[in-house]
Chains A and B, each alone.
Chain A
Amino acid sequence: DIQMTQSPSTLSASVGDRVTITCRASQSISTYLAWYQQKPGKAPKLLIYKASSLESGVPSRFSGSGSGTEFTLTISSLQPDDFATYYCQQYDSYRTFGQGTKVEVK
């Protein structure tokens, strides 16, 4: 099974900060990776698919990069609405989510 490991687990940041979250796969998954944002009590929201493709309607301050086993999600300038938990997910073999990264107010 493919394991997905995110770091950090928690990130403290301020509005306007550049934020980077890392996701590592236990084996190569090419670019079969998506990123989701989840707020308390809500379903996850798709941000990025195919490692770097921005989902329609998602602000351009979100970007994704990487291939193989190492991936990053970057928020170029953190906005108040961006405080949430972020999950990576591979879809190369079955589907596996990372454990999540909570972005909290510093």
Chain B
Amino acid sequence: QVQLQESGPGLAKPSETLSLTCTVSGGSLSSYYWSWIRQPPGKGLEWIGYIFYSGSTNYNPSLKSRLTISLDTSKDQFSLKLSSVTAADTAVYYCAREDGQGKIAYWGRGTLVSVSS
């Protein structure tokens, strides 16, 4: 059974970089799109972006200038870096796996990141 687990600091300071890692177990990174999705407290879901196992990326245009998603196949991990954060970036951040049919069937449990000084 595929499992995903987010990890990283729960607090980031304004103007700094938010960094999260997702560790994948129970399955290979090959042939899938590894995604980040976030949800501000009490609000809806926002797609952040994904990295394909080949290394190609696709980012939400509204976040693209601040966003980097990378893959470490040796550790079965992928990571998110979001720079110049503000309070508007406070959210639960989910990592997830999307397949070639657009199905996001596997999700991490989510981790809350608060942006505050």
Q: Which residues of A contact B109 (CB under 8 A)?
A: 42-43
Chain B interface residues toward A at CB < 8 A: 35, 44-47, 50, 58, 60-61, 94, 96, 98, 101-105, 107-110
Kindly state the separation between the CA atoms of A38 and B46 in the bound complex, as whole angstroms.
Answer: 14
User: Which residues of A are found within 8 Å of B108, using beta-carbon distances?
Assistant: 43
Q: Which of B96, B102, B107 contacts A49 (CB 8 A)?
A: B102
The segment from A12-20, A59-67, A74-82, A87-95 that touches chain B is: A87-95
Q: Is the CB of A97 within 8 A of B45?
A: yes
Interface size on A, residues (CB 8 A): 23
State how many angstroms separate the Cβ of B109 from the closest Cβ of chain A: 6
Structural contact, B105 and A55, CB atoms closer than 8 A = yes
Residue from A36, A45, A49, A50 whose CB has the most chain B CB atoms within 10 Å: A49
Decide: B47 and A49 in contact? CB cutoff 8 A. no
Q: A34: which B residues are within 8 A, CB to CB?
A: 102-104
**Other-chain contact of B47, A46, A55, A95, A100 (Cβ < 8 Å):** A95
Chain A nearest CB: distance from B44 CB in Å? Answer: 5
Chain A contacts for B105, CB-based, 8 A: 46, 55
**Is A46's CB under 8 angstroms from B44's CB?**
no
A3: min CB distance to chain B, Å:
12
Q: A43-B94, A43-B108, A44-B107 are in contact. Are A97 and B46 (CB under 8 A)?
A: yes
In the assembled complex, which residues on chain A have CB atoms less than 8 Å from the CB atom of B110? Answer: 43
Q: Report B-chain residues with C-beta under 8 Å of the C-beta of A98.
A: 44
